[in-house]
Amino acid sequence: MLAWYAANGRGLAFRTTSDPYAVLVSELMAQQTQAERAAEAWTAWMARWPAVEALAAAPVADVLRAWAGLGYNRRAVALHRAAKAIVADHGGRVPDDVGALEALPGVGPYTARAVAAIGFGRPVGAVDTNVRRVLGRIAVGGPGALTSAAMQALADAVVPAGRAAAWTHAVMDLGAGPCASRNPRCGACPAAPWCRFAAGERALEPVAPRASARRAQGDASSGQALAFPATSRWLRGRVLARARDAVDGSWVAYGEPIGAHPPEAVREAVLTLERDGLLEVREGAGGLEARLPDG
């Protein structure tokens, strides 16, 4: 698999470094964002804020503007808060311990292990959807046959000594390529000779919901739905875009409908973004006003 990755791996810009801060930025950018788009944004980001201290000192409004096009703007705020925590609590050095990494704002089990493996060479497995599918298919014929704890134990156990970073990238790329969720190309997979799935031992795999179901479920739960004008996520995106585009960070009035959303829905969207730390809000002469945060 490592030889396959050396010959076929994606040449993404953020794979040219093992700097833990740079890895942290790339991992948060690449969540629910196309890897190639994240790589472009990462290059510009690192040119502007090449060290964690620079990001921690930046106004959050500038961070949100730089995040434009990456979606899930709460990740930008979380990354900014993580940078501040690294400076305040770790002397400006990204911690190399998985537990300490998970304690940072916005960093979950996957991101913590990806930073530990890629940035520090720790022999831990970063388990995302692609990794779960690849390792589950090889080991038992499908990811649905393993509990989360068993999958994590498997992912940790198979990391090759001294090759944690390359292995992390290799498994991710295999899942994004030959070992796709639909129509996998087992004939092009370097793991096929040892893979139970390729041998026909097909364990039950989770069925991905249809796009319409994902849209409805995401919008009803956490606002992480597909961009669609009738959804609250679409509305929040338009609200934030207006604040992001305001000249010199001026206050923007939100008393009118946006698209098909009435003023009451617009107001709720603004207040939700305030609770998430993405906007500052005040009552103006013409109703609710907002702008990107100063702090």
Residues annotated as catalytic (active site), given as ranges: 27
Q: Rounded to an integer, what distance in angstroms lies between the CA atom of residue 120 and that of residue 156?
A: 15
Contact 59, 35 (CB under 8 A): no
Is 80:48 a contact under the CB 8 Å cutoff? no
Q: Which residues of 65-98 are buried (b: 16+ CB within 10 A; e: fewer)?
A: ebbeebbbbbbbbbbbbbbbbbbeeeeeebbeeb
What angle (nearest 5°) sits at the alpha carbon of residue 67, between those of residues 66 and 73? Answer: 145
3-state SS string for 163-195: CHHHHHHHHHHHHHCCCCCCCCCHHHCCCHHHC
- Residue 284, classed as helix, strand or coil, is strand
Q: In what order do the strands lie in the sheet with 252-253?
A: 252-253, 287-291, 280-284
Q: Per DSSP, what are the bridge partners of residue 252?
A: 290
User: Among residues 44, 51, 83, which one has the least CA distance to residue 65?
Assistant: 44
